[in-house]
Structures are given as C-alpha cells and as structure tokens.
C-alpha cells in the first residue's frame, strides 16, 4: 500500500462516536472500526448499542457500548473516562449526537429551543472539552470531528433552533481549532446535506422532500456511506494539516442558488 493510502489507516487508535445508536453515528462507528479503530459507541439507549457492538465484533472489530446523555456534563465526563479506561487514550471524537426541531419560529417554546441547542451545540462542546482535557493531560493530540450541517452554513424555514445550533457548531469548530492547535488537537466539521435517516425520513419521502430532491444538483439525497471519505480523512493522519475546516457533503445543494 502506498504511504498516502496508509495515512488513512486507524489501526490501534481509540475513538468515541456519540449518537451511535442510529443513523449516521451508527454507520460512522462501523466505518471507523473497519479502518482499524477501537470504538466507544455512545448514546442514551444501550440496547441498540449492544446490537452494534455485536455487528462490529463479527467483523473482527472492537467496540464498547456506553450510555451517554451529551446534555449532561457528568455523563459526558463519565463517558470519556470509561472509554479511556477500556480502550486507552482517545485520539478521535466524532460529535454526532443531534436532534432537529421542525416548528415555525413563532411556535418554538423556550423548552424546544433549549432541547435542540443543548444537544447539538452544548453537548458537542461538553464532549469536546472532556476529550481535550484527557488529550492535553496525557500530552497526545487527536482529531475532533463535529457533525454540523449545511443548515449551519445556510438558513431555511421551520428549523430555527437547529440552524442556530449548527451555525454555532461550525464556529465553535473554528474557535477550538485555533485554541487547541498548540496541543496537537485538530478540530473540523462535516456539513452533510440531506442524508436519509430517522431524523428526516418522513420529510424526505413527502411531496416537499421529493420536490427538494430535484433541486439537488446530483439529483439524489445522500446515504450514510457518502460521509465515509470525509470521515476517514478527518479522523486519520491523512488530514494532518487540516484544522478548522468544514467539509460540505451535500450533492452540490448549497452551491446552487
Ligand atoms: P438520528 O436521529 O438517526 O441519530 C441521532 C443520534 O443522536 C441518535 O443515536 C440519538 O440517540 C442521539 N442523541 C440524540 N440526543 C442525544 C443525547 N442527548 N445524548 C446522546 N445521544 C443523543 O439522526 P442522524 O441523521 O443520524 O443525525 C446524526 C447527526 O447528523 C445529527 O447531529 C444531525 O443533526 C446531523 N445531520 C444529519 C443530516 C441528515 O440528513 N441525516 C444532515 C446534516 C446533519
């Protein structure tokens, strides 16, 4: 294998994927494990994680399921500690846990707002802080990958808290990249467009969703596999000189007027 291809290899590295019980997080955990990483798979419900652990182990990978609520600082700290105890120093964090709102701005209650922003923005910050604390104390660097969205770069109706939280996450990515570069911690973001998962299946299959699909330059919605290349790039040494970046994976949707 060429040196360039070898730089994507994650053999022996320990990773945490938040929100691994379904959708993109579930897929990302399998992708990292297939590239050789030992993966702590974390979410609020343990049962789907135990199932995913079995799937990864069936492919000769290593995974440990951990209960995590990213909105709770104690839970975030416990998750990182348990992952490190079981797997060794954590060098990759995929901040993937997220929820969407789906209400007109005038109908969003304070509780709705807090739920979305606490999960998508505060949760990512709590996890990044907990992981970076370990990385700096142990003196090894690492890669933090925040799952933002094209809705963190552009706006649309009916998802105000989601757009605000993902926009905040994009700029948190840049701020942490600048501050933690001196510790060898790279911080980047993925900005997916519409990828069919539980979070959006209803909408994507509706008439409005299908009309939107026709406006995507590549004429289709994404699948979780569409994120694999960018994920492996950012997780591995192949991106050793990339930090503070946002990689858009949207079939060209945000490039079009
Ligand atoms: P999903 O609903 O299938 O997965 C979300 C995951 O986050 C689930 O595992 C859920 O249990 C977990 N989660 C939610 N709240 C949590 C909490 N408080 N603590 C821990 N885990 C929690 O949706 P998905 O489409 O796989 O979304 C994954 C990420 O990708 C989200 O951040 C989402 O905003 C982002 N994203 C998705 C799309 C898309 O089109 N699917 C596009 C852009 C960005």
The model's pLDDT over 187-211, given as tens digits with 9 standing for 90+, comes to 999 999 999 998 899 989 999 999 9
The pLDDT, as a whole number, for residue 77 is: 98
Query: Which one of 80, 97, 146 would you pick to mutate in the ligand 1 pocket, going by the greatest count of ligand atoms within 8 A of its CB?
Result: 97
Q: Is the CB of 243 under 6 A from ligand 1?
A: no
> Residues near 163 by Cβ (< 8 Å), separated by ≥ 6?
151, 152, 155, 156
Q: Is the CB of 97 under 6 A from ligand 1?
A: yes
Residue 202 CB neighbours (<10 A): 10
- CA 244 – ligand 1 centroid, Å: 22
Q: Specify whether 194 is catalytic.
A: no
The model's pLDDT over 84-106, given as tens digits with 9 standing for 90+, comes to 999 999 999 999 999 998 999 99
Q: Tell me the DSSP string of 125-178.
A: HHHHHHHHHHHHHHT--EEEEEE--GGGTS--TT-HHHHHHHHHHHHHHHHHHH
Per-residue pLDDT averaged across 126-137, rounded?
97
The pLDDT, as a whole number, for residue 246 is: 98
Q: Tell me the DSSP string of 123-135.
A: HHHHHHHHHHHHH
DSSP annotation of 118: I
User: What SS3 state is found at 202?
Assistant: helix
Please tell me the distance from the alpha carbon of residue 238 to that of residue 131, in angstroms, as a whole number.
Answer: 21
pTM: 0.98
- Provide the edge-to-edge strand list for the sheet that holds 142-147: 62-67, 38-43, 14-18, 90-95, 142-147, 185-192, 246-249
Per-residue pLDDT averaged across 56-74, rounded?
98
176 pLDDT band, cuts 50/70/90, is very high
Q: At what angle do helices 160-180 and 110-117 cross, to 10 degrees?
A: 30
Determine whether 115 is exposed, middle or buried from the number of CB atoms within 10 Å of its CB (0-12, 13-18, 19+).
Answer: middle
Per-residue pLDDT averaged across 108-125, rounded?
98
The pLDDT, as a whole number, for residue 104 is: 97
Closest residue by Cα to residue 90 from 4, 32, 168, 156: 32
Q: How high is the mean pLDDT of the chain?
A: 97
Considering only CA atoms, give the Rg of the chain.
17
Q: What is the percent of the chain with per-residue pLDDT over 70, rounded to a whole number?
A: 100
Q: Is the pLDDT of residue 220 over 90?
A: yes
The pLDDT, as a whole number, for residue 257 is: 83
The model's pLDDT over 134-160, given as tens digits with 9 standing for 90+, comes to 999 999 999 999 999 999 999 999 999
Closest residue by Cα to residue 56 from 76, 73, 37, 75: 37
174 pLDDT band, cuts 50/70/90, is very high
Query: Which one of 16, 19, 49 would you pick to mutate in the ligand 1 pocket, going by the greatest count of ligand atoms within 8 A of its CB?
Result: 19
């Amino acid at each position: 294998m060429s040196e360039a291809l070898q730089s994507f290899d994650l053999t022996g590295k320990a990773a945490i994927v938040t929100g691994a019980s379904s959708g993109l997080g579930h897929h990302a955990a399998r992708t990292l494990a297939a590239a050789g990483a030992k993966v702590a798979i974390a979410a609020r419900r343990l049962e789907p994680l135990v199932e995913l652990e079995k799937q990864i182990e069936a492919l000769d990978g290593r995974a440990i399921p951990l209960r995590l609520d990213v909105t709770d600082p104690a839970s975030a700290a416990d998750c990182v500690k348990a992952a490190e105890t079981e797997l060794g120093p954590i060098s990759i964090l995929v901040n993937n846990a997220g929820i969407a709102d789906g209400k007109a701005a005038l109908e969003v209650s304070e509780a709705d707002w807090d739920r979305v922003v606490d999960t998508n923005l505060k949760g990512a910050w709590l996890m990044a802080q907990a992981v970076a604390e370990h990385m700096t104390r142990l003196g090894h660097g690492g890669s933090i990958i925040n799952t933002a969205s094209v809705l963190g770069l552009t706006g649309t109706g009916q998802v105000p808290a989601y757009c605000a939280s993902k926009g905040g996450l994009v700029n948190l990515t840049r701020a942490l990249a600048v501050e933690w570069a001196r510790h060898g911690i790279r911080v980047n973001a993925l900005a997916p467009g519409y990828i069919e998962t539980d979070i959006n299946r209803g909408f994507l299959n509706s008439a409005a969703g299908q009309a939107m699909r026709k406006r995507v330059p590549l004429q289709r919605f994404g699948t979780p596999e569409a994120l694999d290349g960018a994920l492996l790039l950012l997780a591995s040494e192949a991106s050793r000189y990339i930090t503070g970046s946002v990689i858009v994976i949207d079939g060209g949707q945000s490039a079009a007027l």
